[in-house]
Amino acid sequence: MFEEIRILLSKLLLDDKWYQLFLGGMVLTGGVSFLLLFYLIWSGVFQGLLPAEIAIPGRDFKILYNAATRFSQGASVAEAGYIYFPLVVYYHQLFSHLSFYPAFITISLWSLLLAVIATFLAIKILDHYQVRLSTAGKWLVLFSIIFFCPVTASLNSGNVNTLVFSFITMFFFFFCVRNKNVYAGLSLAVATVFKIFPAALLLLAAFQRRFKFVLVFLLILALIGVFSILLLGIPAHLYFMEYVAFYQDGKAAGSNAAISSVIYNSMELLNITGTTQSTVNISWLFIRLAFVFTILGYLYPLFRTKAEVFRNKEWTILLFSLFSVLMVSLTNHSWVYYASSLILPFLLFVFCLKLTTSEKTLLTISIAFFSFNTHIESLSAVVGGAFSTLVYVVHPGVIGYLSFLTLVLLKIARLRQAGYQRAPKG
């Protein structure tokens, strides 16, 4: 029996078609079971099973809804407690005119529509890279995106991460497929206004020497910033910057999926405070900066000698995937919702790149931990003890991020080496 299982797993990893179906099925299983588990617990079927309080649907949206409601009643952005870029308050104000649950359902349907649009664009991107999906394959991609647990959890919580993922997909479509700088710049600017981290994708344009796009993006972002200040005033923006600075302080949080959480949660368990904690915080900041600059320095010689190679399919996918995973994993706080931004890199890896068995294994591990992260957390709460402590220190999302980052770096190293080997000597 074990031999049959080994043969089956080998087939799933070696045959691209079976591998794609395997990943799709795994993502669907994770998303559907998440919804089933969540709503059964919320409805009281398993009440008392888990020691932690289970949040109601719309958990994140409720905070934003209440802030937008207070803003509508005349409070300032700071007084309302709004935690996003000030101008975005008008986005949530659109929904605050409804009572809570109708507003939550409306914004969820809107986010779902954006996910469908992103799926359509993702299929167009795959088609651009000569990947022709059957009708069944397109439906599988659609359902895999909607039921990818970070997206499903985001829709369930009512936050903006599905919107951000959708606009990042629009950016890639207009930037790499249509070569439309204004539309690409506007898409990335919208994503950046809702969440700061998408601005890191400017590095993709820099490596491809698309400086006209960089200028367009910065101009659009500057215009949005000026308009926001004129409309809401400087104090609202100072409040926002203070919140961002406070939010990126190193502190423990059990559901934090950032790589940094391993350090901060470990320090909390070991009761490390004071000077030692400050030293660790500062050291970790410089280690992350050194890591990023080392990667950029590793790529720079190729950029300097023949930057045009970064515009081919493999390099475009790898650079986009590298900056995508870095922007959502190296901050001090990164919730599992943020992994929604990795959907397009995952699709490009699955359908557009030739992967070895070990590379497929790394990709499977990454997608699996994101797809079943809620199940692992729930199980750890039930089991308790050392397993619960381990999950607290090493969140499933951390393993997901590290696995995919390792895969991307391996592919970059192999492609860079292959490029030097093919280069004419002398």
For 246, the 3-state DSSP assignment is helix
pLDDT at position 383 = 84
Cα(183)–Cα(118) distance, rounded to whole angstroms? 15
DSSP alpha helix (H) spans, 233-341: 234-247, 261-269, 274-306, 313-329
Cα(215)–Cα(184) distance, rounded to whole angstroms? 12
Decide: 58 and 104 in contact? Cβ < 8 Å: yes
Decide: 47 and 35 in contact? Cβ < 8 Å: no
Cα(327)–Cα(125) distance, rounded to whole angstroms? 22
The count of C-alpha atoms lying within 13 angstroms of the C-alpha of 242, restricted to the half-sphere facing its C-beta, is 9
Cα(397)–Cα(370) distance, rounded to whole angstroms? 6
For helices 59-72 and 149-157, give the axis angle rounded to 10 degrees. 40
pLDDT at position 297 = 92
Read out DSSP for 13-72?
A: HHSHHHHHHHHHHHHHHHHHHHHHHHHHHHTTTTTTSSSSPPPPTTHHHHHHHHHHHHHH
Cα(165)–Cα(217) distance, rounded to whole angstroms? 18
Compute φ and ψ for 98, nearest 5 degrees: -95, 160
pLDDT at position 424 = 41
Neighbours of 62 (CB within 10 A): 17
For 353, the 3-state DSSP assignment is coil
Cα(61)–Cα(392) distance, rounded to whole angstroms? 25
Neighbours of 349 (CB within 10 A): 25
pLDDT < 70 stretches in the chain: 1-14, 40-56, 248-254, 306, 419-426
For helices 16-42 and 343-352, give the axis angle rounded to 10 degrees. 150
Lookup: tokens for 380: 């750890």
Closest CA to 131 of 414, 340, 347: 347
pLDDT at position 123 = 96
Closest CA to 340 of 148, 136, 116, 90: 148
> What does the DSSP 8-state code read for residue 268?
H
Closest CA to 333 of 229, 237, 249, 399: 249
Whole-prediction pTM: 0.91
